[in-house]
Amino acid sequence: MAPSFNPMASISDGYASLVEGYEKLTPGQKYGVLAAGGLLTVGAINKVYIASTDYKKKPSSTELGGGSIEANQVKSEFDNYSASYGATGTKEGIKDRSKTVQLVDVFYSLVTDFYEWGWGQSFHFSPKLPGCDWKTSEAAHETRIAAVLGLKPGDRALDVGCGVGGPLRTIASVSGAHVVGLTINQYQVDRARYHNQKQGVAPLATIVRGDFMNMPFENSSFDGAYAIEATCHANKLEDVYGEVFRVLKPGSRFVTYEWVSTNLYDDKNPEHVRIMDEINYGNGLPEMRTWKQAEEAGKKVGFDLIWSQDLAVSSKVCGPWYNRLWYLLKTIWINKTMVNTLNLFGLLPRGMKEVHDMLAFVAVSLCEGGRTGTFTP
């Protein structure tokens, strides 16, 4: 005789277990669970609404995953990523630099959903313009590049490390140029192509998977190139800058927003070193370069340096680039409660909670880098 199964009894038993567990919680823990439950309910309603529309601008809280990594491999991939970095305070960064490309690919599979979910489609910082919201300031930061490059209809430009294509869509749209985005991560390729199609930018955008230190493009094939907080992932800036120089037509320009330490950074100051080591680990960087090293790297491969400026402090009327992150930290407990609750009920791949914890931790380090003036993006 086959065993019988009463689904309603199972639901009843499960509910009783949940109630019993809930009653054992402290008042603060109960509040957290109730808050998370409410947020998850809103998220579920939002998911139903989004599913009824044609375009999902970001993953819902219940869809957060490890990108190109299989769900059952997320935890082990994150553990391997974490173990690849030297101890905080050693200035070591990624211990085996031959694995940098692979680790950066893994990093972006792990964090891309969280970036889109909690930040947006443009994975970068920007100074806040007076009287403008962050989205407007973000777009202005991107549009500046199109203006400096002098892009126009008929031009072909390269986005070096394009992410899911937020800046690419802005720059292609305002300039009319065709922009080719290059990223190491297949999940980002898929997301960027999806957004391009849904936003109607696909006619002016091409997304390619590849290593920006070994680009799959012909010599002298672009009218301009830019990188927005992306080439910091290169083992050596000379390697990626050299590839950019190779694929640009003679006389063309390259604009880069580079993550660097400033002249206020003191590598003998333990606090400064800690901040930089944490930024490297939490953002997939092999190491942090100085602003001078970035300038010299461009010159070494053949570029003429036209303009170098710390946009973080160049305007006295703009708000600090890290303020948006600082404001988000004030409410990070909401996202952490949601992620912890999803993790508790097995609604996230194992390891995603740890990824989110890392991102929340490094957000503090980034703000510290901004507030001390030792780091600029």
Summarize pLDDT for 289-317 with one digit per residue, the tens: 999 999 999 999 999 999 999 999 999 99
Query: Domain limits at 63?
Result: 34-377
DSSP secondary structure code for residue 95 in this structure: S
When pLDDT is cut at 50, 70 and 90, the band that residue 100 belongs to is: very high
In a domain? residue 16: no
CATH number for the domain spanning 160: value is 3.40.50.150
Q: At what angle do helices 323-330 and 352-372 cross, to 10 degrees?
A: 130
In a domain? residue 10: no
In a domain? residue 6: no
Average pLDDT, integer, range 118-123: 98
Average pLDDT, integer, range 326-340: 95
| pTM beyond 0.85 | yes
In a domain? residue 74: yes
Q: Are strands 289-290 and 178-183 parallel, antiparallel or unpaired?
A: unpaired
pLDDT at 293: 99
When pLDDT is cut at 50, 70 and 90, the band that residue 54 belongs to is: confident
In a domain? residue 369: yes
DSSP secondary structure code for residue 203 in this structure: G
pLDDT at 10: 32
How many folded domains does the chain comprise? 1
In a domain? residue 71: yes
How far, in Å, CA of 260 to CA of 89, rounded? Answer: 17
Q: Residues 77, 66: contact at Cβ < 8 Å?
A: yes
Main-chain phi, psi angles of 151, to 5 degrees: -70, 145
In a domain? residue 26: no
pLDDT at 158: 99
Q: How many residues does the chain have?
A: 377
In a domain? residue 17: no
| pLDDT surpassing 60 at residue 42 | no
The Cα-based distances of 128 to 104, 105, 134, 166, 298 in angstroms read 29, 30, 6, 18, 28
Average pLDDT, integer, range 195-221: 99
When pLDDT is cut at 50, 70 and 90, the band that residue 28 belongs to is: low
Mean pLDDT for the chain?
90
| pLDDT surpassing 90 at residue 276 | yes
pLDDT at 27: 53
